[in-house]
């Protein structure tokens, strides 16, 4: 089955700096890659996603890149703010093939003032 | 436009009792997924259901756990004879076909 690895497990940045979180996946059939943000005690919230027919997607301060050949994808957050502090999870799935999400182990992002 | 609704938010059970967790998907969503999250860990897939059908239960423990999504009413995740290791947050998500999954607030299950 699919296996998703995520790095780093913790990330501390200064406010205004950029943050990058990286994930790799094992199943070349995976074609959908969402990113979720989870604040303490809250639900995971979808912040951005990308499908395998696209190499990059951007939404304001958040961008995701996908390298299908290397089987890795990354989340980029620019101009970080304290409210960006949370745990971020990457995931992979095969749409049309059951859709179950395989999650990475999460990255605790702390944005310091 | 209500999101995914889960209840109860918190559930306390003693070892050996049964736990029932409920999930009402977003309006119009026919796909329901259950995930389990242990403290300070990621979410693990348990089961994927559509109305009256279990599509994929590859993440469900073989014993004590069952799930259903009846024609009418919410999806139910049932855990019989709970043990301490069942303590976790259980999240439900719903989607339209191949569209993104949206999560509920979860049920935090504590076993005494």
Q: What is the pLDDT of residue A60?
A: 95
Q: What is the pLDDT of residue B40?
A: 77
Q: Are strands A62-67 and B5-7 parallel, antiparallel or unpaired?
A: unpaired
Q: Are strands B102-103 and A107-112 parallel, antiparallel or unpaired?
A: unpaired
Q: Do B43 and A105 touch (CB under 8 A)?
A: no
Q: Do B48 and A98 touch (CB under 8 A)?
A: yes
Report the pLDDT averaged over residues B47-65.
94
Q: How big is the CA angle at A37 (ends A70 and B19), to the nearest 5 degrees? A: 110
Per-residue pLDDT of chain A (113 residues; tens, 9 = 90+): 899 999 999 999 999 999 999 999 999 999 999 999 999 989 999 999 999 888 999 999 999 999 999 999 999 999 999 999 999 999 999 886 568 999 999 999 999 98
Considering only residues 16 to 75 of chain B, which have any Cβ-Cβ distance to chain A shorter than 8 Å?
A: 31, 33, 35, 41-45, 48, 55-56, 58-59
Backbone angles phi, psi at B46, to 5 degrees: -115, -55
Check pLDDT > 60 for residue B53. Answer: yes
The closest of A44, A28, A68, A66 to A76, measured between CA atoms, is A66
DSSP SS3 for B86: helix
**Interface residue of B53, B94, B101, B104 to substitute, partner A, most A CBs within 10 Å:** B101
The closest of B33, B17, B18, B27 to B75, measured between CA atoms, is B33
Residue written as token pair 């990255």: A107
Q: What is the pLDDT of residue A97?
A: 56
Q: How confident is the model at residue B90 (pLDDT cuts 50, 70, 90)?
A: very high
Check pLDDT > 90 for residue B24. Answer: yes
Beta-bridge partner residues of A32: A51, A93
């Amino acid at each position: 089955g699919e296996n998703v690895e995520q790095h780093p497990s913790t990330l501390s940045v200064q406010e205004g700096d950029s943050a990058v979180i990286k994930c790799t996946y094992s199943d070349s059939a995976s074609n959908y890659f969402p990113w979720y943000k989870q604040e303490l005690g809250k639900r995971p919230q979808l912040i951005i996603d990308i499908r395998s027919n696209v190499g990059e997607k951007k939404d304001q301060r958040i961008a995701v890149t996908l390298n299908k050949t290397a089987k890795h994808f990354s989340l980029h957050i620019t101009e970080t703010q304290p409210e960006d502090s949370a745990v971020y999870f990457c995931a992979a799935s095969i749409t049309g093939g059951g859709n179950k999400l395989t999650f990475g182990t999460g990255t605790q992002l702390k944005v310091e003032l | 436009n209500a999101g995914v609704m889960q209840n109860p938010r918190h559930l306390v059970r003693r070892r050996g009792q049964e736990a029932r967790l409920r999930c009402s998907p977003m309006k119009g969503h026919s796909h329901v997924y259950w995930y389990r999250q242990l403290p300070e860990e990621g979410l693990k897939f348990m089961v994927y259901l559509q109305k009256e059908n279990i599509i994929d239960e590859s993440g469900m423990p073989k014993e004590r756990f069952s799930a259903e999504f009846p024609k009418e009413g919410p999806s139910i995740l049932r855990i019989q004879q709970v043990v301490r290791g069942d303590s976790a947050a259980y999240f439900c998500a719903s989607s339209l076909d191949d569209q993104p999954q949206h999560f509920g607030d979860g049920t935090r299950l504590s076993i005494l």
